[in-house]
Structure 1
């Protein structure tokens, strides 16, 4: 085949519809039901069947790459490997006898099947371990959350009874007069030190001296 012919063939392959291996196997089962199957006992395939497939499906909308991948997946399946017993009859695309499985091939199939099952069992065990680990981790979190004491709602501080304050008569706003001064929301005992234009200077019981307006003085 010339380089130009090879290029044309490659381009034709690339234009064919892409299928997954699963879709391709289903297609082969429909196209060659006496050779391929999805259920029941599988039949060992003729040695070199790929070339027969490539020729038979040359004008079909499936690439050789897809065929090769699908054939590999099919022949590595547990059902197919189990069918490859010594002296089992191989079949061609039409289901006709096309050789038998020899002892060496049967041994290889049995070994591949055992390895596949062992790998599957290992994956399942790792998955179960991961699931158990996740389960107990979640359970531990839940138990820890339940054991943690709930935050008690803080009781509001008891409100002090409102003081009965009487406004101080202006005539009593004199130096030395004992009064009550409203500081914030509470009153404190104080003594008038001086009466000034900007306010009344008083000394609180705590010893602190402040200047307040007259309306903050009470008897």
Structure 2
């Protein structure tokens, strides 16, 4: 049982016409020139077929006859065919010239589209630059290498390391620095005990540390 679902695209209609009228329409290979007035013949033959609307049939014929494959077939002296493949009138020079002009214009438009598409793509040199391996520097960014075995000079002034506390410094009120983290913190001794030395940080917090963790503040060594 044939499907009654309506066709929705020209591609579907062309395939249907090629199957129904194989001596007139085709989907590949060399096309045949169609009889002038072929639309009226199709409308009559397909009048009872609900799958093809006349609007879609007309647009499909326009699409078919504007294709390069069909325009190639319009040559002077070639005979047009009807739905059953019966040859009719010969193609006149005027019609042949018009078809060739239409073919050239269509090819020119296609070439312009390809050219515009190529222009939008990045150039090869730009692609190579974008795809440079990670960590690789451009050729013009090279810097002179330093001499082997030499180290960059350090112009920072040398500083004397903090001095350890003497027995005379172990008393309340001595300004010291205590290393509790990465950096030494200023503090003052508040109590000397057997189990450690109590110091008060500038923040107000009191901590108990060993003598080895203390250094004399610079102001006391001037």
What is the rounded CA distance, in whole Å, between the counterparts of 2:211 and 2:116 in structure 1? 82
Structure with greater helix share of residues? 1
Deviations 1:1-56 (A, max 9, x none): xxxxxxxxxxxxxx971321111111100000111112332211111110100110
Which residue of the other structure, out of 115, 118, 129, is the alignment partner of 2:108? 118
What is the rounded CA distance, in whole Å, between the counterparts of 2:41 and 2:132 in structure 1? 64
Structure 1: state its 5+ residue gaps. 1-14, 150-164, 203-207
What is the rounded CA distance, in whole Å, between the counterparts of 2:187 and 2:129 in structure 1? 62
With the length of structure 2 as denominator, give the TM-score of the two structures: 0.64
Structure 2: state its 5+ residue gaps. 142-163, 192-196, 213-222
**1:76 maps to what in 2?**
66
User: Is structure 2 residue 20 aligned with structure 1 residue 37?
Assistant: no
What is the rounded CA distance, in whole Å, between the counterparts of 1:188 and 1:92 in structure 2? 105
Q: Is the 8 A contact 1:200 1:212 kept in 2?
A: no
SS at match of 1:46: coil
Deviations 1:178-198 (A, max 9, x none): 685524236679775x66xxx
What is the rounded CA distance, in whole Å, between the counterparts of 1:99 and 1:108 in structure 2? 17
SS at match of 2:131: helix
User: Is structure 2 residue 129 aligned with structure 1 residue 140?
Assistant: yes
RMSD over aligned Cα atoms = 3.8
SS at match of 1:116: helix
How many Å apart are 1:117 and its aligned residue?
1.3
**2:92 maps to what in 1?**
102
What is the rounded CA distance, in whole Å, between the counterparts of 1:16 and 1:211 in structure 2? 90
Which residue of the other structure, out of 110, 113, 117, is the alignment partner of 1:127? 117
* Closer, same or farther: CA 22–134 of 1 in aligned 2, 3 Å: farther
User: Is structure 2 residue 42 aligned with structure 1 residue 53?
Assistant: yes
SS at match of 2:23: coil
**1:90 maps to what in 2?**
80
With the length of structure 1 as denominator, give the TM-score of the two structures: 0.65
Deviations 1:124-151 (A, max 9, x none): 22223333x25443322223853279xx
Count of residues in Structure 1 that have an aligned counterpart in Structure 2: 177
Q: Is the 8 A contact 2:78 2:91 kept in 1?
A: yes
| Equivalences for residues 168-207 of structure 1 within 5 A | 174-175=171-172, 181-185=177-181, 192=189
SS at match of 1:65: helix
**1:22 maps to what in 2?**
11
**2:211 maps to what in 1?**
218
